[in-house]
Amino acid sequence: MQKIATVSEMQRRARELRTQGGRIALVPTMGALHAGHRALIAAGRKAADTVVVSVFVNPLQFGPSEGLAAYPRTPEADVAFCSEAGADLVFLPPAEEIYPRGYSTYVTEEAYSKPLCGISRPAHFRGVTTIAAKLLNLVRPDCLVMGRKDVQQIAVVRKMIADLHFEVAIVEVPIEREADGLACGVRTRDLTASQRQEATVVQQALSKAKEMVESGVRNTDRLVAEVTHIIGQHRRVRVIYVAIVDGTTMEAEREAVPGRSLLMIAVWVDEVRLVDNVAL
């Protein structure tokens, strides 16, 4: 497995790969890799001949008080993880390679990024779209592999791809869950045993809403109220938002439409922020 740290070397290697004619899959990550990332790499392996994993803690995705300095950085473990998981190349650029001195160009999506996480994290998706555009230009993949835990991020990046005419397909990978039902994630690993027990209420609420829709309930106010009530019974879990939205546009739905609607949840478990979702 090859390891690359500079933009120029990544561009050179991407040109070589394109010349060889095989398909390239890109798995973008911010490191601290876990079982969810293993599933992404496996999906990339099925979709392409070469799997490139980017490991970059993107400063643009963090607000002033969102813990950029405390975000876990485990580059050596991440490289070993990628090798074991079957990746072909790992791109681990330092921040100054991606955003050199004087950098001043950004990519902003103005619709799908506004609701949900965009309300409490107004600069977050500008960081997502900017780094996504840069990685697509550097790696030039045929497919971009993304996990459905961050489904709003998928929607925003897909809109950017369509609007800016990138020639790349998104491969969506189902949420990888741990034994207790929590979605695999970097933040999940920050939870204590007692916090994890409290956090499982999110999965319980998602399951209850899905059951209600399967039994014929379509009223989104009723569904949101039930989910909020279930979560509210756990004092250490505070709701940031509970919403039922169109899975493509992230717009609020007036009624749950099977096959189209998503239930989106974001909560604080004490000081740990978690997001999750389910298709209804």
Residue type at position 261: S
Nearest to 31 by CA among 52, 10, 56, 53: 56
The arrangement of strands across the sheet holding 89-91 comes to 2-4, 89-91, 50-55, 24-29, 143-147, 169-173
Work out the burial of residue 236: count CB atoms within 10 Å of its CB; fewer than 13 is exposed, 13-18 middle, 19 or more buried: middle
| CA atoms of 131 and 95, how far apart (whole Å) | 11
165 part of the active site: no
Q: From the CB of residue 260, how many other CB atoms can be counted at a distance below 10 Å?
A: 13
Catalytic residue among 34, 37, 165, 229, which? 37
* CA distances for 255 relative to 211, 219, 225, 235, 259, angstroms: 15, 5, 13, 29, 12
Catalytically active residues are 37
